[in-house]
Amino acid sequence: MTYDTATTLLKSDNATNHEVFRGRMYIDGKWTESASEQRFERRSPAHGHVVSTFPEATAADVELAIAAADAAFRHGRWPKLKGAERARVLLAIADGIKARVEKMSLIESLETGKPLAQARGEVSGCVDLWQYAASLARTTSGDAYDTLGEDMLGIVLRQPVGVVGLITPWNFPLWILSQKLPFALAAGCTCVVKPSELTSSTTVMLMEILEEAGVPAGVVNVVTGKGPSVGQPLAEHDAIDMLSFTGSTRVGSLLGGLASKKLKKVALELGGKNPQIVFPDCDWDAMIDAVVFGVYFNAGECCNSGSRVLVHESIAERFAQAVVERARQVPVGDPLHPDCKIGAIVSEHQLSEIVGNIEKGVAAGARLRLGGKRYDAQGLYLEPTIISDVTPDMSIAREEIFGPVLAIIPFSDATQAIEIANDTAYGLSAAVWSRDIDTCLTVARGIDAGTVWVNTFLDGYPELPFGGFKSSGVGRELGKQAVEDYTETKTIQLHIGERRNWWLPRPAA
């Protein structure tokens, strides 16, 4: 079926059949309201009705949460548990998520505007993240050095870093929390979590699961509210030993700076302007499908979005026509509709920002091939957009737009493609499309990015580390290093036998 992206939006009859979720904060094992007794609400960007409400945390609430996590780490049993015992709890949490997939998926779809089918896939996928973290709780280890001489044995321990502040974004609320929290818990840390004020529900629901799984009081605490009143104190507080943040490069730079002034350990997963590089000898159908998926998945509200495609000049026009034709067929509309692939934009502010970036690109001389406008309908919807004749110096080729907007940039050879790909402040991910393995490896090695896909896009596995170069972040999530990031190394040197004296005074005459 063909959907005209300029006129037709999918609609659902079930848009308002949802009971408002009344969330609470979770501090020291207790469900609580804010000290101010103030609450804020979240409206569905697709339907306009209230989806959920939450306490508006104050500085006093944040202080209580940090104190609870600090006490649980310094005096509680969680850091001292055997790895196998922590693993059993993490596996129980994975089972709890599996049992609540439908409930968590629905509210995540309503809060974010993403298709319900996609939300189901993400919530289900979180089970695997928690299970993988459980395996690392049992296998993370230090080192021993028996090569230092017969009188010395060296031991290197990995110990939990302490209290971790976790700040998560609105675009993948449960998924990104599950890239952080289970690994911090596997290491033996305690945590204070601040979800986005736009998408707090699944984080609060997860606390119900943690409580049922037997996570001790104070080990994980959740405070809901806005960045200045919650996120900033987590970055600045002396009792927070590490800050892990996912979000925009601008906010990450600000929070990282605040944390560095206190010499905290910092992990930042930030923005991207991710290129897919297309050579003439690629698998054409697979590439076109991956390009459309890569830019329109999650309505482009994804740090890994393939928002720019570098296409060999010999096939640039053929590519533009093909990708426009494919994009016209992508179903847009109510995220609760079973056919929906592109849902609503998360907020009016975000939608205005996207449209402004499109207008800026066209004003600079780029050619609008498809879309570019919001739908004249209830809900925050934007037409899937494709822009060609883009040059590397244009803002639309360099700045993260975070919406369903594809920029097409021609190149002449692999060397120029690598230069264009690297000519941004970002370095999160990239892809290369060619049947020639030499071309693929040359480009993959030459691109400054933490992940490079070859003849595919946006695949992911818990075993493989994820993170960026340059302004895309600091540190890595997932992989066996994920737990290690939440630890500090401690060297112990054991001397055996009699120790030689440094200096002995001469005996008195």
- What local confidence, expressed as pLDDT, does residue 387 receive? 98
Q: What are phi and psi of 382, to 5 degrees?
A: -125, 140
What domain count does the chain have? 2
What's the mean pLDDT in 310-319?
98
Is residue 328 domain-resident?
A: yes
Best CA proximity match to 471, nearest among 237, 272, 260: 272
Q: What is the pLDDT of residues 138-167, one digit of tens each?
A: 999 999 999 999 999 999 999 999 999 999
Same domain for 116 and 98: yes
Distance between CA atoms of residues 173 and 347, nearest Å? 15
Same domain for 266 and 353: no
Distance between CA atoms of residues 48 and 42, nearest Å? 9
8 A C-beta contact, residue 406 and residue 385: yes
Helix axes 83-99, 116-139, angle to 10 degrees: 170
- What local confidence, expressed as pLDDT, does residue 16 receive? 58
- What local confidence, expressed as pLDDT, does residue 12 receive? 77
Same domain for 195 and 169: yes
Same domain for 481 and 435: no
Q: Examine the residue annotation and report whether 383 is marked as an active-site residue of this protein.
A: no
Best CA proximity match to 433, nearest among 321, 325, 328, 315: 315
- What local confidence, expressed as pLDDT, does residue 500 receive? 82
Q: What is the pLDDT of residues 90-131, one digit of tens each?
A: 999 999 999 999 999 999 999 999 999 999 999 999 999 999
8 A C-beta contact, residue 281 and residue 217: no
349 CB-contact burial (10 Å; exposed 0-12 / middle 13-18 / buried 19+): exposed
DSSP 8-state class, residue 364: T
What's the mean pLDDT in 396-414?
97
**List 56, 108, 122, 269, catalytic entry:** 269
Distance (Å) of CA 244 to CA 188, 453, 463: 16, 25, 19
What's the mean pLDDT in 234-253?
95
Q: What is the DSSP string of 88-146?
A: HHHHHHHHHHHHTHHHHHHHHHHHH---HHHHHHHHHHHHHHHHHHHHHHHH---EEE-
What's the mean pLDDT in 377-400?
95
Q: What is the pLDDT of residues 435-478, one digit of tens each?
A: 999 999 999 999 999 999 999 999 999 999 999 999 999 999 99
Same domain for 189 and 281: no
pLDDT band at 311, cuts 50/70/90?
very high
- What local confidence, expressed as pLDDT, does residue 7 receive? 47
Half-sphere exposure of 16 (CA within 13 A, CB side): 5
pLDDT band at 18, cuts 50/70/90?
confident
The residues that bridge with 440 in the sheet, in sequence order, are none
Is residue 51 domain-resident?
A: yes
pLDDT band at 6, cuts 50/70/90?
very low
Same domain for 144 and 28: yes
Which residue do the tokens 């697709």 mark?
A: 46
- What local confidence, expressed as pLDDT, does residue 392 receive? 96
The residues that bridge with 139 in the sheet, in sequence order, are none
Read off the pTM: 0.95
Domain residues for the domain of 336 are 275-454
Same domain for 42 and 136: yes
Which residue do the tokens 């400054």 mark?
A: 448
Q: What are phi and psi of 460, to 5 degrees?
A: -160, 150
- What DSSP element (H or E) covers 27? strand 25-27
Same domain for 167 and 28: yes
Q: Is the pLDDT of residue 42 over 80?
A: yes
Q: What are phi and psi of 310, to 5 degrees?
A: -95, 115
Q: Is the pLDDT of residue 492 over 60?
A: yes
pLDDT band at 509, cuts 50/70/90?
low
Q: Average pLDDT over the chain, rounded to whole?
A: 95
Helix axes 101-112, 83-99, angle to 10 degrees: 70
Same domain for 153 and 76: yes
Could you tell me what percent of the chain has a pLDDT over 70?
98
Distance (Å) of CA 505 to CA 498, 500, 508: 19, 14, 9
Same domain for 261 and 151: yes
Q: Is the pLDDT of residue 3 over 70?
A: no
Q: Is the pLDDT of residue 503 over 70?
A: yes
